[in-house]
Amino acid sequence: MKSRSLQVILPAFLVAFAILACSQFSTNPVSVPPTGVAISTIVPDATLEAVAGSTGLGDSLYPGFGNGGYDVTHYLLDFTIHDVATSDLTAIVTIEAIATQDLGSFNLDFVGFDINSLMVNGAEADYSRKGQELIVSPLKPLVDGDMFTIIVQYSGSPEEMQSVALPVQTGWVTVDGGSFVLSEPDGSASFYPVNDHPLDKATYTFRVTVPKPFEVAANGLLIETTDKGDATTFVFDSPSLMASYLATINIDEFDIETMSSDNGIPIRNYYSTGLSEKVRAPFARQGEMIDYFSGLFGPYPFEVYGALVMDVEFGSALENQTLSIFGIDMVDVDDVEGTELTVAHELAHQWFGDSVSVADWRDIWLNEGFATYAEVLWVEHAEGPEARDEYVEYLYSDMVEYGDVVGAPGNPPANDLFNASVYEWGGLTLHALRLEVGDEAFFEILKTYHNRYKNSNATTEDFVSVAEEISGMELGEFFNNWLYSGSLPPIPELGLGTE
């Protein structure tokens, strides 16, 4: 993610999100079940202990994020929007999951709304609410390894929700003439019941009905559009595993632009109706970017890509999986090349952040540092090595100014997760690594890291291990200096920090 005030081509504080590993939880993706309701094969056992799943996944910065005892495999979000102006809706959310322990109860993250019905495996379940926790007690305990299905029916309008990581509204945001979703790191619970931590990735189906003339833009491929007279239903399929904070539903009247990369990756861009045609210029090279980054990082990891530009000033852009979202104030039609850097940044997140997700939010630099360095690589591709070095020097000088304030990228504070260090200092760490190991090893490190952890989660330790494996070098001291030291290390090759 990137905020307007942090836009690197002007100032330099960016905004996004990442994650570290909890050793007691598997970081491997679970298999996706067949479409339809999964009915548990539970045989009632009166001796089965009614154990509660944990109320968090043990994240080092946000220990209450997510819930234990199960892995979600698929979400079906079926929304009917009655009033776009207020986002008044009714919803039926179907969650397919696998129990990872015997469960007498388990939690979901969910805020607001009136719950009309909650069923587990076709039977009404008891539930209670405490803050953001929805505590569910099935009629029959769940057995470790069983597939089970939760269906939650609810109604109302999403409540405003402020992130714990920065003082902005997250999740579902209602605006004049529509709504949009920006959930990183903790806003998904504002509009659907969820296991809200990147460690529990799942596939998604979105079925959203809106009154005419409104339209819907969501993750994945639009597979069905149904005319219902005074309303339209849009169905999107997102078959690749996705972290919950990347799920997005956006409602407006849209102009849709389609294209594809030379290598055949389809692109669909959504622009709020009425925006100037000039807004499209910074997105014209997305196909070229996809193919260029595919050569550096490995094949593009999803089935489609595109951008959504809302005619709303919300000061940020976010890499929602397959559909990055931009506030109109993030698109400078008088500085197309500068805005292209933000476009490149969000696109690079599809590899680093979306496909390879962090296992703990403390490792956010694995998202933001990588996406910021993709800006450096795009400058190098578009303008050459001299321009690349100038851009690196710009990032370095900015960190000299702000580094003592925000600290090193490997240990961000919980209440300021998206500070400049995880972006710029994190990006500089990668350039310093490139200079340390050489270009051949560096780009092989990036490809190997993505290939090894795609559709899963990774930690800083995982990346360091790959870097040492590929380079054949001991890099512990290097990474300690760059990620955890109290001052920005020098880059002697560019004469930075050597005075």
User: What span, in angstroms and rounded, lies between the C-alpha atoms of 418 and 404?
Assistant: 16
Give residue 1's pLDDT: 80
Distance from the Cα of residue 183 to its chain's centroid: 8
- H helical segments located in 384-438: 385-406, 420, 426-437
The one-letter code for the residue type at 440 is E
| pLDDT tens per residue across all 499 residues of the chain | 876 544 443 333 333 333 333 333 333 333 333 333 333 333 344 445 679 999 999 999 999 999 999 999 999 999 999 999 999 999 999 999 999 999 999 999 999 999 999 999 999 999 999 999 999 999 999 999 999 999 999 999 999 999 888 888 899 999 999 999 999 999 999 999 999 999 999 999 999 999 999 999 999 999 999 999 999 999 999 999 999 999 999 999 999 999 999 999 999 999 999 999 999 999 999 999 999 999 999 999 999 999 999 999 998 999 999 999 999 999 999 999 999 999 999 999 999 999 999 999 999 999 999 999 999 999 999 999 999 999 999 999 999 987 667 889 999 999 999 999 999 999 999 999 999 999 999 999 999 999 999 999 999 999 999 999 999 999 999 999 999 998 999 999 999 998 7
Phi and psi, residue 232, nearest 5°: -135, 135
Q: CATH top-level class for 356-494?
A: mainly alpha
Q: What is the DSSP letter of 204?
A: E
Planar angle of CA 167, 365, 68, nearest 5 degrees: 75
Cα 409 from Cα 418, distance rounded (Å): 10
Residue ranges of domains in the chain: 44-348, 356-494
The secondary structure of 284-337 as a DSSP string is: TTHHHHHHHHHHHH-S--SS-B-EEEESS--SEEE--TT-EEEEGGG--TT-HH
Alpha-carbon span 148 to 166, nearest angstrom: 35
Q: Are 26 and 57 in contact (CB under 8 A)?
A: no
Q: Which CATH architecture has domain 44-348?
A: Sandwich (2.60)
Residue 17 φ then ψ, to 5°: -155, 155
Give the DSSP letter of residue 424: I
CB 148 within 8 A of CB 139: no
Starting at the edge strand found earlier in the chain, the sheet holding 88-99 runs 123-124, 114-120, 147-156, 88-99, 70-83, 202-211, 231-242, 221-227
Is 144:101 a contact under the CB 8 Å cutoff?
Answer: yes
- 388 and 380 in contact (C-beta within 8 Å)? yes
Q: Are 448 and 470 in contact (CB under 8 A)?
A: yes
The answer to whether the beta carbons of residues 475 and 468 sit under 8 Å apart is yes
Q: How far apart are CA 467 and CA 490, in angstroms?
A: 20
Euclidean distance between CA atoms 286 and 269, whole angstroms: 10
* Contact (Cβ atoms closer than 8 angstroms) between residue 305 and residue 288: no
Question: 67 phi and psi, to 5 degrees?
Answer: -150, 150
